[in-house]
């Protein structure tokens, strides 16, 4: 039996297990962020670390999503339930930030500042300064000063004055670091047993709100044990306040720590340089069938790697290819592999390879590679930077010149079946409610850019619609969302869509039909995004009518016109992209949405958004204002396969009528954002892979 | 004996593609991209089935490689020559590129090594009699990362010879001087070994670091590249 040198599937799995066993990772606190038990530390998780934590104590239970957004910035979103909080049950959603002011050195501790529950000024609102120092033998000592809830036990002073009462309607910046301050601290010891650590802390939290309904802390001292049997899974058990027991389960992952080793698979075709100046005659190009012959012969070779030639033109010196890369997560890798194949296949006279990747039926950026540069750079030590310097990038026209060869594939039908897990942060009187849905989607592509798409959803499990009653809102654009999710199947979408380019730098989309589960109508969008620019401008306008929730094809009376102007900015800083949308939302309210996302070069993306409009918090509905977070994880991160597919989870407020925007399919920026020079630069290392 | 890289000519006239039948373009691409058929190449695994006679009959530059810590060894055939860089390919299209005997690139093995910068007098890259090997050198190892240059690990290496000895690779015994190379830099430390033919400087057996994710690779040079 023949054996492979590197049997990548089995080896990859074994290696992943072998390298992950008993590895030590960061320490999580009971609230899911890095820390001791209830108290924070100045220690941080690895960059990009993303963790789900589930917690239960005698006073609070719920979940937390923690994301190390930047090497010095940790963010956490909590969905907690406090059963006994000032007279009733509190469902609290809160957002925390922790920033590293100083990193630890042999002569000084690390120093961090943190804000807990600072957007809504809720049950956990507090601020702190904390220092941590590893003093050797696995022992880390932390100590700090807390305000707000963290300044409620045995306060020492109020150094910056009294703390104003919460406004309840806005972010109370004037509360920060005001009022009583109290000391807290603790130690953590990484024992010699792999993955096992013990903790002890002195808490500055008096649990004032919980005391009203009977919780009686007997001691400020908390003790705990953390155990991480395998990297990515951590459990903890704690004895708190002399009276309470808490448990924690944390499941974590990191874009920089793939489950299977990166780059396992098939290597690229080797490049052999042409010899001298011989045989560069272009007379072969007089054959009118040359382009078609080449396209038909190259297609099976490239299709083996998931690359499809859509259009082609070949002259004696230049080849133009419009390609559809369906498998490789990094477009630059596909471009490099095409260039290598062309260097093998084409007559010596062809000096320029012009490769244009397409996305959603749209031609994006033309990448022009000079063949002699490729030959001179391949395998060399400086191949990456040198090839970046010699490659040209231009905005592509949506089609090649008239008479170009084009792939005869239309009409084309495709379908998919996917599970979806929407999580509502504030619905139906609970901190969070979850559905598990099965979604079937299909697309019939009539021509490039023109398609009819449909999407059906069937609920498998869930509680989002439990107890749903019609909303009393004057503009129930979203507050009846639960009524739309009572079972299924439901028609989420049935539209005709046309994408095209108004100019090489300007993309456009028109959609009509049942645009989303709650609205139908007509929608148009334009995006100006030159490829050499790290920002773009977009505009979208839609005329819609609300769909009936009991009838798959019927309508309610409410109709409106909604639209936004959008600014997109790829900051180039740690993969962070920003988006600002300003306009009129579905309920007629006017405001803006600010979105931030961090995208890693392997496709991981963690994003969040906040929408504020002129609709007052008390009219908004559940959640006070619209917000959400989402994680998208490429399947390539988990499996040794070349695939552009991704999986993920999104959490957001679904019941608020304010700040509600049409939930369309992919908007233009989402479709083309991987195809500009900024993104190509970030992933250009893959060009030689 | 002279060996040459299995290099396919790209001299193709597309006019021939329209004449019907199997395209010569496809044939050449297959020849270059796909590995030789099993009956054309020596047995790909298992040193017990590999003989010097088979290597000689094969007639191409050939190495035998194994990731340190794994059991499986396979053969890679020299398939492309760019400058002095030779790319060897396994039957599973996983690539190793070498400059002399310095591994400067891997593809498909996991944790690709993109490229290596070496000193001009690096004896692993350029044939150097054992007596002329330097005691120290520098290298830059490049891996995928953000930006065209990716992530670079720069190291300083110190070379130490050991007493001459003999090694046997597929029926051929060589008089070699073993060298140990300890490299440090950018938070990384690793140790390479080279069994160098004392007179010519040809390295026949080596253990080299190819990155933090993959560790080391063992390579036996079964038939080195020579250019006519």
Q: pLDDT by residue (tens digit) across B113-171?
A: 999 999 999 999 999 999 999 999 999 999 999 899 999 999 999 999 999 999 999 99
Which residues are CB-neighbours of A684 under 8 A, at least 6 positions away? A332, A384, A387, A388, B147, B148
Collect all residues of chain B within an 8 Å Cβ-Cβ radius of residue A2: 38, 44-45, 91
**Same domain for A543 and A589:** yes
- A295-320 as b/e: b if 16+ CB within 10 A: bbbbbebbeebebebbbbbbebebbb
Of A52 and B45, the structure prediction assigns the larger pLDDT to: A52
Collect all residues of chain B within an 8 Å Cβ-Cβ radius of residue A349: none
Q: A299-302: list long-range contacts, CB under 8 Å, 24+ apart.
A: A299/A407, A300/B26, A301/A341, A301/A345, A301/B26, A301/B29, A301/B30, A301/B33, A302/A337, A302/A338, A302/A341
Does position A102 have pLDDT exceeding 70, yes or no? yes
Decide if A656 contacts A625 (C-beta within 8 A): yes
Q: CA quadruple A393, A398, A400, A404: dihedral positive or negative? A: positive
Decide if A81 contacts A91 (C-beta within 8 A): yes
d(CA A282, CA A300): 25
| Average pLDDT score over residue span A589-613 | 89
Q: What CA–CA distances, in Å, run from A164 to A175, A206, A617, B167?
A: 6, 19, 20, 81
- Among the residue ranges A134-138, A148-152, A464-468, A565-569, the one predicted with the least confidence is A464-468
Tokens representing A298? 């190259």
Collect all residues of chain A within an 8 Å Cβ-Cβ radius of residue B82: 271-273, 375, 378-380
Tokens representing A437? 């849905």
Q: How many domains does one find in chain B?
A: 1
**H or E stretch including A433?**
strand A433-447
B200: domain CATH number is: 2.40.360.10
Cβ of B25 within 8 Å of Cβ of A297? The answer is: yes
Tokens representing A6? 């590197």
Minimal C-alpha gap between A493 and chain B (Å): 38
Q: Which residue stretches of A208-247 are H helix?
A: 208-211
**Same domain for A425 and A389:** no
> Is A575 in CB contact (< 8 Å) with chain B?
yes
> Is B4 in CB contact (< 8 Å) with chain A?
no
| Average pLDDT score over residue span A401-421 | 85
Q: Residue A75 falls within a domain, yes or no?
A: yes
pLDDT of residue A80: 84
**Partners of B99 in the β-ladder:** B85, B102
pLDDT of residue A469: 78
Residue among A279, A343, A681 minimizing CB distance to B11: A279
> Is B97 in CB contact (< 8 Å) with chain A?
yes
Residue among A284, A300, A684 minimizing CB distance to B147: A684
Collect all residues of chain B within an 8 Å Cβ-Cβ radius of residue A6: 67, 70, 72, 74, 90, 92, 94, 108-110
Cβ of A261 within 8 Å of Cβ of B214? The answer is: yes
d(CA A657, CA A652): 13
**H or E stretch including A377?**
helix A371-377
DSSP secondary structure code for residue B123 in this structure? T
Chain B contact probe: residue of A2, A4, A5, A686 with most B CBs at under 10 A: A5
Structural domain containing residue A179: 11-253
Tokens representing A460? 């498998």
> Is A6 in CB contact (< 8 Å) with chain B?
yes
State the pairing for strand pair A423-424/A646-652. Answer: parallel
Does position A489 have pLDDT exceeding 60, yes or no? yes
Helices A331-345 & A290-303 angle (0-180, nearest 10): 130
Cβ of A344 within 8 Å of Cβ of B14? The answer is: no
Structural domain containing residue B22: 14-223
Q: CA quadruple A455, A460, A463, A469: dihedral positive or negative? A: positive
Distance of CA A123 to the CA centre of its chain: 28
Q: Residue B115 falls within a domain, yes or no?
A: yes
pLDDT in tens, A11-29: 333 323 333 333 345 789 9
| Average pLDDT score over residue span A407-431 | 73
- Smallest Cα–Cα separation from A361: which of A668, A53, A104? A668
Q: Give chain B's end-to-end CA distance (angstroms, integer).
A: 10
Does position A409 have pLDDT exceeding 90, yes or no? no
Cβ of B32 within 8 Å of Cβ of A272? The answer is: yes
Does position A359 have pLDDT exceeding 90, yes or no? yes
Of A435 and A319, the structure prediction assigns the larger pLDDT to: A319
d(CA A133, CA A102): 11
Minimal C-alpha gap between A640 and chain B (Å): 10
pLDDT of residue B175: 95
Collect all residues of chain A within an 8 Å Cβ-Cβ radius of residue B117: 381-382
**Same domain for A132 and A216:** yes
pLDDT in tens, A281-334: 888 888 888 888 888 989 999 999 999 999 999 999 999 999 999 989 899 999
Q: Which residue of A has its CA nearest to B44?
A: A2
Collect all residues of chain A within an 8 Å Cβ-Cβ radius of residue B105: 379
A149 φ, ψ (degrees, to nearest 5):
-60, -35
pLDDT in tens, B40-84: 555 544 445 789 999 988 888 999 999 998 888 889 999 999 999
Minimal C-alpha gap between B108 and chain A (Å): 5
- Smallest Cα–Cα separation from B41: which of B92, B95, B102, B113? B92
Does position A575 have pLDDT exceeding 50, yes or no? yes
Q: Residue A99 falls within a domain, yes or no?
A: yes
pLDDT of residue A9: 31
pLDDT of residue A648: 66
Cβ of B149 within 8 Å of Cβ of A297? The answer is: no
- Helices (H) then strands (E): counts for chain B: 2, 13
> Is A2 in CB contact (< 8 Å) with chain B?
yes
Which residues are CB-neighbours of A509 under 8 A, at least 6 positions away? A497, A498, A499, A500, A523, A524, A525, A526, A667, A668
Cβ of A263 within 8 Å of Cβ of B109? The answer is: yes
Q: Residue A5 falls within a domain, yes or no?
A: no
> Is B149 in CB contact (< 8 Å) with chain A?
yes
> Is A18 in CB contact (< 8 Å) with chain B?
no
**Same domain for A23 and A90:** yes
Q: Residue B78 falls within a domain, yes or no?
A: yes
d(CA A106, CA A95): 32
Tokens representing B64? 């035998």
Q: Residue B5 falls within a domain, yes or no?
A: no
DSSP B144-162: S-SSTT-EEEEEEEEEEE-
d(CA A293, CA A286): 13
Cβ of B45 within 8 Å of Cβ of A2? The answer is: yes
Does position B26 have pLDDT exceeding 90, yes or no? no
> Is A290 in CB contact (< 8 Å) with chain B?
yes
Collect all residues of chain B within an 8 Å Cβ-Cβ radius of residue A575: 146
Q: Residue A571 falls within a domain, yes or no?
A: yes
**Same domain for A241 and A363:** no
Cβ of B92 within 8 Å of Cβ of A2? The answer is: no
> Is A466 in CB contact (< 8 Å) with chain B?
no
Band of the pLDDT at A433, cuts 50, 70, 90?
Answer: low
Count the neighbouring beta carbons within 10 Å of the beta carbon of residue A425.
Answer: 22
Collect all residues of chain B within an 8 Å Cβ-Cβ radius of residue A601: 144-146
Q: Residue A272 falls within a domain, yes or no?
A: no
Q: Residue B1 falls within a domain, yes or no?
A: no
Chain B contact probe: residue of A14, A270, A341, A367 with most B CBs at under 10 A: A270
Q: Residue B181 falls within a domain, yes or no?
A: yes
pLDDT of residue A3: 31
Chain A, window 323-362: residues with a beta carbon less than 8 angstroms from a chain B beta carbon: 341, 343-348
- Among the residue ranges A233-237, A486-490, B215-219, the one predicted with the least confidence is A486-490
Collect all residues of chain A within an 8 Å Cβ-Cβ radius of residue B73: 5
Q: Residue B2 falls within a domain, yes or no?
A: no
Collect all residues of chain A within an 8 Å Cβ-Cβ radius of residue B32: 269-270, 272, 344
**Same domain for A320 and A426:** no
Which residues are CB-neighbours of B226 under 8 A, at least 6 positions away? B2, B3, B4
pLDDT of residue B1: 31
Q: Kindly report the CA angle at A271 between A268 and A276, in degrees rounded to 5?
A: 170
The per-residue pLDDT of chain A, averaged, comes to 87
DSSP A260-313: S-TTBSPPPPP-----TT-S---GGGG-TTHHHHHHHHHHHHHHTTTEEEEEEE
Q: Residue A21 falls within a domain, yes or no?
A: yes
Chain A contact probe: residue of B148, B149, B222 with most A CBs at under 10 A: B148
Does position A6 have pLDDT exceeding 60, yes or no? no
pLDDT in tens, A659-674: 999 999 889 999 999 9
Tokens representing A32? 């899911």
**Same domain for A102 and A133:** yes
Q: Which of A409, A442, A459 is the last residue of a domain?
A: A409
**Same domain for A320 and A181:** no
Q: What CA–CA distances, in Å, run from B136 to A192, A312, B188?
A: 38, 52, 17
Cβ of A5 within 8 Å of Cβ of B79? The answer is: no
Minimal C-alpha gap between B73 and chain A (Å): 5
| Average pLDDT score over residue span B176-203 | 96
**Same domain for A401 and A447:** no
Which residues are CB-neighbours of B110 under 8 A, at least 6 positions away? A6, A8, A11, A12, A15, A261, A262, A263, A264, B213, B214
ipTM, 2 dp: 0.81
Residues in chain A: 689
Chain B, window 156-185: residues with a beta carbon less than 8 angstroms from a chain A beta carbon: none
Does position A5 have pLDDT exceeding 80, yes or no? no
Q: Which of A392, A409, A426 is the last residue of a domain?
A: A409
pLDDT of residue A429: 53
Q: Residue B209 falls within a domain, yes or no?
A: yes
Q: How many domains does one find in chain A?
A: 3
Tokens representing A635? 């399947």
Q: Which residue of B has its CA nearest to A315?
A: B14
Collect all residues of chain A within an 8 Å Cβ-Cβ radius of residue B144: 262-263, 601, 685-686, 689
Does position A95 have pLDDT exceeding 80, yes or no? yes
Residue among A273, A575, A685 minimizing CB distance to B150: A685
Q: Residue A658 falls within a domain, yes or no?
A: yes
Decide if B102 contacts B122 (C-beta within 8 A): yes
pLDDT of residue A307: 95
d(CA B60, CA B47): 18
Share of chain A above pLDDT 70, in %: 90
Chain B contact probe: residue of A263, A286, A294 with most B CBs at under 10 A: A263
Which residue do the tokens 């260039």 mark?
A339
Decide if A197 contacts A27 (C-beta within 8 A): yes
Q: Which residue of A has its CA nearest to B118?
A: A381
Share of chain B above pLDDT 70, in %: 78
At A426 the three-state DSSP class reads coil
Share of chain A above pLDDT 90, in %: 55
Tokens representing B88? 């060897």
**Same domain for A178 and A227:** yes
* A489: preceding bond cis by omega (within 30 degrees): yes
Collect all residues of chain B within an 8 Å Cβ-Cβ radius of residue A379: 82-83, 85, 87, 97, 104-105, 115
Distance of CA B186 to the CA centre of its chain: 25
Cβ of A264 within 8 Å of Cβ of B15? The answer is: no
Q: Kindly report the CA angle at A466 between A464 and A467, in degrees rounded to 5?
A: 130
DSSP A62-94: EEEEEEEEETTEEEEEEEEEEEEETTEEEEEEE
Of A492 and B49, the structure prediction assigns the larger pLDDT to: A492
Q: Residue A226 falls within a domain, yes or no?
A: yes
> Is A689 in CB contact (< 8 Å) with chain B?
yes
Cβ of A261 within 8 Å of Cβ of B213? The answer is: yes
Per-state percent for chain A, helix, strand, coil, to nearest 5: 15, 45, 40
Residue among A272, A285, A293 minimizing CB distance to B81: A272
- Among the residue ranges A332-346, A508-522, A543-557, A617-631, the one predicted with the least confidence is A617-631
| Average pLDDT score over residue span A178-185 | 96
**Same domain for A419 and A381:** no
pLDDT in tens, A227-278: 999 888 999 999 999 999 999 999 888 888 887 777 788 899 999 888 776 6
- Among the residue ranges A422-426, A474-478, B180-184, the one predicted with the least confidence is A422-426
**Same domain for A435 and A526:** yes
Does position B212 have pLDDT exceeding 70, yes or no? yes
d(CA A263, CA B111): 5
> Is A685 in CB contact (< 8 Å) with chain B?
yes
The per-residue pLDDT of chain B, averaged, comes to 83
């Amino acid at each position: 039996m023949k054996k492979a040198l590197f049997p990548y599937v089995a080896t990859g799995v074994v290696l992943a297990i072998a390298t992950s066993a008993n590895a030590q990772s960061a320490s999580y606190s009971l609230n899911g962020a890095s820390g001791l038990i209830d108290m924070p530390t100045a220690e941080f998780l690895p960059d990009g670390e993303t963790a789900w934590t589930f917690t239960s104590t005698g006073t609070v239970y719920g979940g937390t999503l923690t994301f190390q957004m930047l090497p010095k910035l940790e963010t956490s979103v909590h969905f907690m339930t406090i059963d006994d909080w000032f007279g009733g049950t509190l469902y609290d959603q809160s957002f925390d930030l922790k920033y590293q002011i100083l990193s630890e050195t042999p002569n000084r501790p690390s120093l961090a500042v943190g804000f807990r529950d600072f957007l809504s000024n809720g049950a956990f609102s507090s601020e702190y300064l904390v220092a941590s120092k590893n003093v050797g033998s696995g022992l880390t000592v932390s100590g700090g000063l807390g305000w707000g809830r963290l300044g409620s036990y045995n306060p020492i002073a109020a150094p910056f004055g009294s703390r104003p009462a919460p406004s309840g309607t806005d972010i109370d910046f004037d509360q920060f670091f005001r009022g009583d301050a109290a000391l807290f601290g603790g130690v953590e010891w990484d024992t010699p047993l792999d993955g096992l650590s013990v903790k002890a802390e002195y808490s500055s939290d008096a649990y004032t709100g919980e005391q009203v309904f009977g919780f009686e802390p007997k001691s400020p001292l908390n003790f705990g044990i953390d155990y991480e049997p395998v990297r990515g899974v951590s459990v903890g058990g704690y004895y708190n306040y002399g009276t309470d027991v808490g448990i924690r389960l944390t499941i974590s992952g990191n874009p920089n720590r793939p489950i299977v080793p990166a780059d396992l698979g098939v290597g690229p075709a080797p490049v052999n340089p042409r010899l001298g100046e011989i045989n560069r005659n272009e007379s072969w190009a007089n054959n009118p069938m040359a382009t078609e012959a080449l396209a038909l012969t190259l297609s099976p070779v490239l299709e083996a790697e998931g690359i499809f030639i859509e259009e082609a033109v070949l002259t004696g010196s230049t080849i133009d290819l419009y390609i559809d890369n369906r498998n490789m997560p990094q477009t630059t890798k596909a471009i490099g592999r095409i260039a290598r194949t062309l260097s093998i296949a084409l007559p010596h006279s062809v000096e320029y390879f012009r490769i244009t990747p397409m996305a959603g039926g749209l031609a994006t950026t033309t990448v022009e590679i000079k063949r002699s540069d490729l030959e001179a750079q391949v395998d060399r030590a400086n191949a990456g930077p040198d090839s970046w310097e010699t490659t040209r990038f231009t905005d592509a026209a949506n089609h090649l010149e008239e008479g170009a060869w084009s792939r005869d594939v239309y009409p084309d039908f495709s379908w998919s079946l996917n599970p979806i897990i929407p999580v509502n942060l504030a619905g139906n009187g609970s901190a969070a409610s979850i559905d598990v849905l099965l979604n079937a989607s299909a697309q019939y592509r009539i021509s490039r850019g023109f398609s009819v798409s449909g999407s059906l959803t069937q609920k498998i499990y869930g509680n989002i619609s439990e107890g749903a009653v019609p909303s009393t809102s004057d503009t129930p654009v979203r507050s009846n969302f639960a009524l739309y999710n009572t079972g299924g199947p439901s028609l989420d979408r049935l539209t005709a869509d046309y994408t095209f380019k108004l100019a090489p730098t300007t993309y456009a989309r028109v959609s009509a039909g049942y645009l989303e589960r709650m609205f139908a109508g007509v929608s148009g969008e334009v995006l100006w995004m030159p490829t050499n620019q790290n920002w773009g401008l977009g505009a979208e306008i839609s005329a819609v009518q609300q769909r009936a929730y009991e009838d798959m094809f019927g309508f309610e009376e409410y109709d409106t016109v909604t639209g936004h102007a959008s600014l997109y900015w790829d900051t180039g800083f740690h993969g962070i992209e920003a988006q600002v949308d300003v306009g009129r939302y579905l309920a007629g309210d006017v405001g803006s949405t600010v979105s931030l996302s961090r995208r890693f070069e392997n496709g991981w993306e963690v994003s969040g958004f906040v929408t504020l409009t002129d609709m007052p918090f008390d009219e908004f509905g559940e959640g006070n204002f619209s917000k959400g977070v989402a994680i998208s994880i490429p399947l390539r991160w988990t499996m040794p396969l070349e695939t552009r597919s991704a999986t993920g989870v999104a959490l957001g407020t679904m019941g608020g009528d304010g700040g509600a925007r049409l939930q369309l399919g992919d908007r233009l920026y989402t479709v083309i954002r991987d195809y500009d020079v900024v993104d190509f630069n970030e992933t250009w290392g893959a060009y030689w892979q | 004996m002279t060996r040459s890289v299995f290099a396919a000519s790209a001299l193709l006239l597309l006019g021939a593609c329209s004449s019907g039948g199997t395209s010569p373009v496809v044939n050449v691409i297959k020849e270059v991209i796909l590995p030789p058929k099993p009956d054309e190449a020596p047995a790909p695994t298992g040193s017990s089935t590999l003989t010097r006679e088979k290597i000689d009959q094969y007639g191409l530059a050939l190495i035998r490689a194994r990731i340190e810590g794994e059991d499986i060894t396979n053969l890679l055939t020299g398939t492309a020559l760019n400058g002095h860089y030779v790319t060897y390919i396994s039957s599973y299209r996983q690539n190793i590129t070498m400059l002399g005997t310095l591994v400067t690139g891997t593809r498909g093995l996991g944790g690709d090594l993109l490229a290596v910068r070496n000193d001009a007098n690096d004896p692993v890259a350029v044939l150097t009699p054992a007596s002329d090997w330097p005691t120290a050198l520098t290298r830059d190892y490049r891996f995928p990362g953000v930006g065209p240059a990716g992530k670079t690990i720069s190291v300083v290496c110190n070379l130490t010879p050991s007493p001459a000895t003999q090694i046997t690779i597929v029926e051929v015994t060589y008089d070699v001087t073993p060298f140990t190379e300890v490299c440090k830099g950018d938070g990384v430390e690793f140790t390479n070994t080279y069994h160098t033919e004392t007179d010519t400087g040809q390295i026949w057996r080596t253990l080299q670091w190819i990155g933090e994710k993959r560790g080391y690779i063992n390579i036996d040079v079964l038939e080195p590249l020579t250019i006519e």
